[in-house]
Amino acid sequence: VIRLTRAYRFCASHRLHSASLSEAANREVYGKCNNPYGHGHNYQLEVTVAGPVDAASGKVVDVPRLDGLVESSVLRHFDHQDLNAVPEFAELVPTSENLVMVIEQRLRQAWFAGAGPRLENVRLHETRRNRFDLRL
Amino acid sequence: VIRLTRAYRFCASHRLHSASLSEAANREVYGKCNNPYGHGHNYQLEVTVAGPVDAASGKVVDVPRLDGLVESSVLRHFDHQDLNAVPEFAELVPTSENLVMVIEQRLRQAWFAGAGPRLENVRLHETRRNRFDLRL
Amino acid sequence: VIRLTRAYRFCASHRLHSASLSEAANREVYGKCNNPYGHGHNYQLEVTVAGPVDAASGKVVDVPRLDGLVESSVLRHFDHQDLNAVPEFAELVPTSENLVMVIEQRLRQAWFAGAGPRLENVRLHETRRNRFDLRL
Amino acid sequence: VIRLTRAYRFCASHRLHSASLSEAANREVYGKCNNPYGHGHNYQLEVTVAGPVDAASGKVVDVPRLDGLVESSVLRHFDHQDLNAVPEFAELVPTSENLVMVIEQRLRQAWFAGAGPRLENVRLHETRRNRFDLRL
Amino acid sequence: VIRLTRAYRFCASHRLHSASLSEAANREVYGKCNNPYGHGHNYQLEVTVAGPVDAASGKVVDVPRLDGLVESSVLRHFDHQDLNAVPEFAELVPTSENLVMVIEQRLRQAWFAGAGPRLENVRLHETRRNRFDLRL
Amino acid sequence: VIRLTRAYRFCASHRLHSASLSEAANREVYGKCNNPYGHGHNYQLEVTVAGPVDAASGKVVDVPRLDGLVESSVLRHFDHQDLNAVPEFAELVPTSENLVMVIEQRLRQAWFAGAGPRLENVRLHETRRNRFDLRL
């Protein structure tokens, strides 16, 4: 089994505010990220695919197909957008923890049918100091 | 003369839309960046200071003082904010070109009086692929 | 389960010399690192925390609390210090292998009581070419 | 158990072309990489070694010995070379998937006899966007 | 005047061999790079454009137009190619010094007519350790 | 004229303490860096060489010769050392400003005689946030 990890980038804004918390609790929990005007990040997304190597092609996955899947299910909807306007975040706070779970759901629903490689890990870098992993 | 370049980071959102352009021209000029909900970036700011080295301390500038100046004149107002809500951008499009000019003005107005080091260059990285320099 | 990895930096000096080895063996085992005057590194520390995402806040851990814990138990004692003067290294050689174990002990002793997230991995980058992991 | 990951670099060229595929299939599967004149990469190789820490030296492995092993079994044969001319690729397509498997075989055959540390993972970065892992 | 520097990448192979040097001199001057089978690099190209900021758009250059110019004059011909097969290198050794001069010529010939921004610097990173600048 | 910038690394420790300042002033000016036990850094040194490209070799400088010059005049004396023990720092505080000046003097004294390339800039990265330039 070989694992291929491929990196993607998208730029988006968000505001962290939870409807289930008071105004004061929102300010305490999210600090500067609760600012009503929002702020933004250059996110880096890393998708890890695991599987056997095809004997004829020497590849674990067709990279253009993987790119198309990530583009159509995630990047097109998130890049240069306000995350709070993405449907899943109508009631969910767009923290990076929730964001990596939403991305994993979208990738899983769009994933290759049949005998293709397995989606093994979704990693999201929010800044140079924080990254989030969801291992399947 | 020695040059010290010190790096700072801030996260902010913005929307690119020029009041002096038609809707169609805005979409053509700014593309995805014209999306009404905005998007965001992890900006990296590099401030270059030039001057002689002080014989007693062996330093070109007192770094905590420089940090305080950059924090109070720029970072506090821009980090985790929507750039469109910063006063200078009430009528000015917050492109990185305009942003680096606004930052330079703020730094210059707050700069050390007297015989201190000179502000020589302001560099702004918008993404890993684009950086903007204003040389004084 | 989501994993958050957060990066910290500290600068420290050390000298590698083992009391249980002869002078000749010290020179052979540690090479340039055995130089009696010591040398130093910009270390990067990555702390990985794993746990469920809190439904109200959308977070796996309160990052300012994590930062405070790492600061008070590790960074305050190691940053801009000589590692050989840290208590644990009175008789232990401050190799990065031993350093990552000492850091893990300090983090574990200071760790959040109760139902908080789990400390899962401690990673230490000594240089761009060498990193050390201790998985719990 | 401590894991040490050490990074190496080598520059090499290759052409992706599979004898078991038609000309048309080769162009479709490999795209630009099927260009008959080849192209090249700055590869980064990361070797992860796992084991207990030696009580006397405080080390998991003797790094100069590890470097010698990687140099003599891999780097000397691959750096500044055309991968298609390396014996293993006489009939095998030098994709990064196959390359990481060939490197792992070479490292395993040259590995330390006896009670030394275990080879745990071989990672190959082809570009900044693609990396490949073979976990043992 | 604002300077925008935009980064591009291309992967290519080359062999260093000068027709005006003897075989022995070629081996001495180019070392491993003279290997007849060639080797390759992930090159990073940085194009610096200088000019006034347009009052209406807040931009120094239209980035999609710049990207199109760099793509059609340079990247399309060099990416995933053997540099020795590029016309300019029929008799010229494809060192990075010569490569940066060839790229600058191609950019200059394709440059925006009229009142557009000025091409100010072309920078080529061959590896993480070597970069080459041609300032206009 | 082409500029080649080549990067080198060295690890060293230092303590910042000026004999011409009082104890209190030392603590105020240098903060944590005045700690008597010292601390250390992974320094990155970038040497920029400028000159015409040799028509036969297509090169601006012979890189192995440049490497030998930097190794014998700087790296051998600074790598894995305590900077305070380097002769120039017997009475000079080893700030990065003074360090880049000492390195430039050593390079200039060892520089190629005759018609070789010119030493144009010496850059020293102390950490990811601070870099120092001495332009000749």
Lowest mean pLDDT among A58-67, A111-120, C53-62, D7-16: A111-120
Q: Helices (DSSP H) in chain A: which residue ranges?
A: 23-30, 63-70, 76-78, 96-110
> What was the pLDDT predicted at B48?
98
CA E122, CA B1: separation in Å to the nearest integer?
Answer: 26
Residues in C whose CB is inside 8 Å of some CB of F read: 9, 11-14, 32-33, 35, 37-42, 79-82, 84-85, 127-128
pLDDT per residue over E1-14, tens digit each? 999 999 999 999 99
Is a pLDDT exceeding 90 seen at residue B61? yes
User: What number of H helices and E strands is found in chain C?
Assistant: 4, 5
Is a pLDDT exceeding 90 seen at residue B114? no
E115 vs A131 pLDDT, higher one: A131
Confidence of residue A56 (pLDDT cuts 50, 70, 90): very high
Which of the residues A59, A66, A75, A118 would you substitute to probe the D interface, choosing the one with the greatest number of D C-beta atoms within 10 Å? A59
Catalytic option among E39, E71, E80, E97? E80
pLDDT per residue over F19-40, tens digit each? 999 999 999 999 999 988 889 9
Contacts of D13 in chain E (CB under 8 A): 13, 37-40, 82
Active site residues of B: 33, 80, 126
E5 touches E75 (CB < 8 A): no
pLDDT per residue over C48-93, tens digit each? 999 999 999 999 999 999 999 999 999 999 999 999 999 999 999 9
- What end-to-end distance do the CA atoms of chain B give, in Å? 16
Q: Which two tokens stand for residue B12?
A: 């902010």
Of residues C30, C59, C110, the one with CA closest to residue A16? C59
Catalytic option among E14, E17, E125, E126? E126
CA E121, CA E126: separation in Å to the nearest integer?
Answer: 16
pLDDT per residue over F97-135, tens digit each? 999 999 999 999 999 987 789 999 999 999 999 999 999
> What was the pLDDT predicted at C99?
98
pLDDT per residue over D62-118, tens digit each? 999 999 999 999 999 999 999 999 999 999 999 999 999 999 999 999 999 877 899
Confidence (pTM):
0.94
pLDDT per residue over E76-109, tens digit each? 999 999 999 999 999 999 999 999 999 999 999 9
Distance from CA of F59 to the nearest CA of C (A): 29
State chain A's mean pLDDT as an integer.
95
E15 touches E38 (CB < 8 A): yes
Subunits adjacent to chain F (3 or more Cβ pairs under 8 Å): B, C, E
Average pLDDT over residues B93-104: 98
Confidence of residue D37 (pLDDT cuts 50, 70, 90): confident
Q: What are the DSSP calls for F13-69, one per residue?
A: EE----TTS-HHHHHHHHGGGG-TT-EEEEEEEEEEEEEPPPTTT--SS-HHHHHHH
Residues in E whose CB is inside 8 Å of some CB of F read: 16, 18, 20-21, 29, 31, 92-95, 97-98, 100-101, 128-135
> What was the pLDDT predicted at E15?
94
Is a pLDDT exceeding 80 seen at residue A115? no
Q: Which two tokens stand for residue A41?
A: 């990040």
> What was the pLDDT predicted at A97?
98
